Amino acid sequence: MNLLIDPVAVFPKVEKMIYSQAWKFAKKYPITFEEAKAEAYYGFIRACYKFEGRGSKFSSWCYFIVWVTLKDLITARAKDPMIPVDPMPHTEAERRDVEELMGTVSEEGIKFKEEIEDTVSDLSTEAKEMLGLLLEPPAELLEGDRPTPKQLLSRVKKHLLAKGRAKAQLKVAYAELEERIKGALAA
């Protein structure tokens, strides 16, 4: 099955609806918000795979699929409340589709992740803060057109300067990040 809708592109348009449905189900039924949210995200991914666009908007289709997915969770939970419900797909075809979208982690990938975590744990406080803002920038840094990596770095530096960081500290933190990342990638 081919992915018909790009989840990354459409998620901001339906994110509020997904949270809203998860919240409503968590308040109405005996499940946690985190469980409802995970199941709603799974429903969103299913909607991206199954949308055919025959006279309906994607947001309407997504609402319906997320609602059905959450209802399925509640139904399964009602049959036997002691059995945890797995929010992952139940058919082999759906599992393959999700794995294709999400990717699988190899041994090399796990080792690389551990090396990166070790590298990050040794960074100075300023470098960690800069890296955190680069990886998960606040909304105000992403305003306007999608920034290039260089523009994002410039915005992060301006953001940290506005928070009172010294320009010299930022220069040292950036050099430290650059050195560590190059070292991790070379290993």
- What are the sequence ranges of the domains in the chain? 7-102, 107-186
Res 97: pLDDT? 62
**Residue 21 confidence (pLDDT):** 92
Q: Mean pLDDT, the chain, as a whole number?
A: 77
Kindly tell me if the per-residue pLDDT of 120 is higher than 60. Answer: yes
Q: How far apart are CA 129 and CA 177, in angstroms?
A: 11
Q: Tell me, what DSSP letter sits at residue 29?
A: S
In contact, 119 and 184? CB cutoff 8 Å: yes
The fraction of the chain above a pLDDT of 70, given in percent, is 72
Check residue 32 and report its DSSP letter. -
Is the pLDDT at 121 greater than 70? The verdict is yes
**How confident is the model over 73-116, as pLDDT tens digits?**
888 777 765 555 455 545 666 656 655 555 555 566 666 666 66
What is the pLDDT, as a whole number, of residue 110?
A: 63
Q: 0.75 cut: is pTM over it?
A: no
Per-residue pLDDT, 185: 58
* Percent helix, strand and coil across the chain, each to the nearest 5: 75, 0, 25
Q: What is the mean pLDDT of residues 2-10?
A: 76
**How much is the pLDDT for 1?**
45
Q: Encoding tokens for residue 114? A: 């551990």
Name the residue with higher pLDDT: 10 or 128: 10
End-to-end CA distance of the chain: 37
- Structural Rg of the chain based on CA atoms: 21
